[in-house]
Amino acid sequence: MPIEGSTGNGQEALTFFQRRLDQKTARVGVVGLGYVGLPLALLFSGRGFETVGLDIDPAKVDSLLRGESYIHHIPAATIREQVGRGRFTATVDFAAIETLDACIICVPTPLDEYREPDLSFVSQTTGSVSAHLRPNQLVVLESTTYPGTTEELVLPILERSGLRCAVQPYDAATVTAESCRDVKSDFMLAFSPEREDPGNKTFQTHQVPKVVGGVNPPSALAARALYAQAFECTVLVGSSRVAEMTKLLENIYRCVNIALINELKLLCLRMDIDVWEVIEAAKTKPFGFTPFYPGPGLGGHCIPIDPFYLTWKARAYELPTRFIELAGEINSSMPGHAVEAVGEALNRRGTCFNGSAILVLGIAYKKDIDDLRESPSLRIIELLQERGARVDYHDPFFPRLHKMRRYDLGLTSVELTAETLARFEAVVIVTDHSSYDYEFIARHSKLVIDTRNATQGLRHYRDKIVRC
């Protein structure tokens, strides 16, 4: 049965959408107000578009409506300004989708306990969007996922609304509005991978080129037109699958190279070679080498997860991705290596794990941010506790650890004083925040396990510093 207001003509849908953008009357919605969604919503509202943020967490919505920020690098003043001007609002009511011209989905895509993709957040959110979908709307998925998700999962759910969106290939280099004339499309659907890097002071959100791929020509052109309103550069690719694979390639590239340097670090430790000095020497070559650095494990939402999304999908094509799987395994093993280094250092001092007081410095997955998604610190604390250690932590960004999907550690950050440091058998540097005074830490600690090379240059304390 035809839906009222729908012509089913892709060119007309695109024209309607483009007109709304040109007149600055288009309403943009962002579902999922986390580290990706909130900056994106504020970016569009800052460009003059009326923007609605949707989230299932009423605490987040209430904070935003009060003009408060729950993400460290997003100033509360920015939120207050956009709310005060009436350009940005937030809600838990998904009926607001009916008022939108564009709906961007930025929800988590974690792994389950078997390291297989958990797309429940995407499925549930898409179902909510479908219940309120109307003609000529553009829906964009930004959540990192395997190639085919937009067409194989999101599209069928959206079409439960009774609206249709035909999948049709196009040439990204030559596609025009004329290409949309014969495309049957009541609504438009695209994928655009998020490239947010929390804490990055070099590239702001709008400065990172936006890759866009649609399921058909009108979807591709509409998505490119939308993001062109807020981003300095857009990169149109030939399908949503290409866009999905682009994000995986970016992060698997990093994952594989980090795995390589982590494995090399383990070898250098046995050979009594300083891997950090090796890297510094190698990166003097002006071509053919990009430096990557070892650590206690990968964190963040993308790099620890993306390889497993692709290897899972590759099984459907009966092609083993051994290289990628090995990189994921090496990086996943690094928290265990850090804990083994703690145990060996304690043993050399005649102390055992069981009953030892150990302080973990840094909970965020990387320095100077308030993001602990997939942080190796959490796994390290868990492993230390399993071995009988009494574990505390300090992190200036996390006064306490809330319950997470996998972890419920129930810990509170301790004060970082000389007296506090002295009462621990070992202090483990897992996240090298810039605010830490590493000379002070080394001076007052009995033993320091450094997983980040943060104590480089503190030669006066090398008898009690173990770099691993």
The reply to whether 91 falls in a domain is: yes
Q: What is the reported pLDDT for 152?
A: 97
CA distance 300 to 380: 15
Q: What is the reported pLDDT for 305?
A: 81
pLDDT band at 38 (very low <50, low <70, confident <90, very high): very high
- Contact call for residues 465 and 450 (beta carbons, < 8 A): yes
Same domain, 44 and 141: yes
Same domain, 381 and 275: yes
Same domain, 124 and 157: yes
CA distances from 88 to 42, 47, 278, 301, 414 (A): 7, 11, 49, 26, 37
CATH number reported for the structural domain that contains residue 416 in this entry: 3.40.50.720
Tokens of 448: 């320091």
Mean pLDDT of 43-52: 96
- 205, 237, 269: which is the final residue of a domain? 237
- 186, 210, 237: which is the final residue of a domain? 237
Same domain, 270 and 156: no
The reply to whether 139 falls in a domain is: yes
Same domain, 195 and 261: no
- pLDDT digit string, tens, across residues 108-117: 998 887 788 8
The reply to whether 355 falls in a domain is: yes
Q: Is 302 a catalytic residue?
A: yes
The reply to whether 448 falls in a domain is: yes
More confident residue, 139 or 197: 139
The reply to whether 299 falls in a domain is: yes
Same domain, 189 and 74: yes
Same domain, 204 and 321: no
Residue 190: which domain range? 10-237
Same domain, 138 and 274: no
Q: Among the options 233, 302, 352, 468, which is catalytic?
A: 302
Same domain, 138 and 83: yes
pLDDT band at 2 (very low <50, low <70, confident <90, very high): very low
pLDDT band at 4 (very low <50, low <70, confident <90, very high): very low
Residue 1 has pLDDT above 50, yes or no: no
- pLDDT digit string, tens, across residues 249-289: 999 999 999 999 999 999 999 999 999 999 999 999 999 99
Mean pLDDT of 297-311: 81
> Domain count of the chain?
2
- 187, 204, 237: which is the final residue of a domain? 237
Same domain, 176 and 291: no
Same domain, 95 and 181: yes
pLDDT band at 3 (very low <50, low <70, confident <90, very high): very low
The reply to whether 4 falls in a domain is: no
Mean pLDDT of 21-44: 95
The reply to whether 248 falls in a domain is: no
Report the predicted TM-score, pTM, of the whole model to 2 decimal places: 0.90
The reply to whether 2 falls in a domain is: no
Query: Average pLDDT over the chain, rounded to whole?
Result: 93
Same domain, 212 and 344: no
